[in-house]
Amino acid sequence: MAYTKTITTARLILRPPQPSDAAALQTMHADPEVMRYFSELPWQDPQRAARQIADDSAAFEKEEFFRFAITLKDSGDYLGSCTLFSLHAQNRRAEMGYALARLYWGQGYMHEALSALLEYAFVERDLNRLEADIDPLNIGSANALLRLGFKQEGYLPERWIVGGQVSDSALYGLLRRDWEARRAAT
């Protein structure tokens, strides 16, 4: 079965990454504020973005994971990414990740993109459960997940060590039936 590779929303297009995204991707992941709660340090290697795009494109084609580039519909500008990864077909489960360039924070773009990603995950990919692992200090990310209907289901102390800094993980989950109920209520 061939799956959708491009998702369109009111203001955005989510599509597979392409080489022309490299500069914007590098800039976003080199920003310490964007990377503050990531499980890796800000990117310093100027070739890192090109390698990431190549890896992401290959994985997309093999349907191993799906990292969508988030772009503005009107201009094509790269804003960030949202990803379905750690897909477990037998249990119809996946994890979700996302990043947005700081210039675009606070404008509702991530909510719009993730809402579309949820639709893709639950309807087109027929998943039953989505999970997200965030740093509990990342209040913006926690609020984004809660707004989408995710529930905090767990807490793992000292799960990550990045650049010598120890951080915890808050685990969030969303079941398809809960997503469908919220969708039907709106």
Q: What is the DSSP string of 32-94?
A: TTTTTTSSSPPP--TTHHHHHHHHHHHHHHHTS-EEEEEEETTT--EEEEEEEEEEETTTTEE
Q: Is the predicted pLDDT of residue 3 greater than 80, yes or no?
A: no
- Structural domains in the chain, CATH included, are 7-185 (3.40.630.30)
pLDDT digits (tens, 9 = 90+) for 82-115: 999 999 999 999 999 999 999 999 999 999 999 9
Determine the Cα angle at 22 with ends 59 and 86, to 5°: 25
Q: Is the predicted pLDDT of residue 1 greater than 90, yes or no?
A: no
Q: What is the pLDDT of residue 4?
A: 66
Nearest to 130 by CA among 87, 160, 185: 87
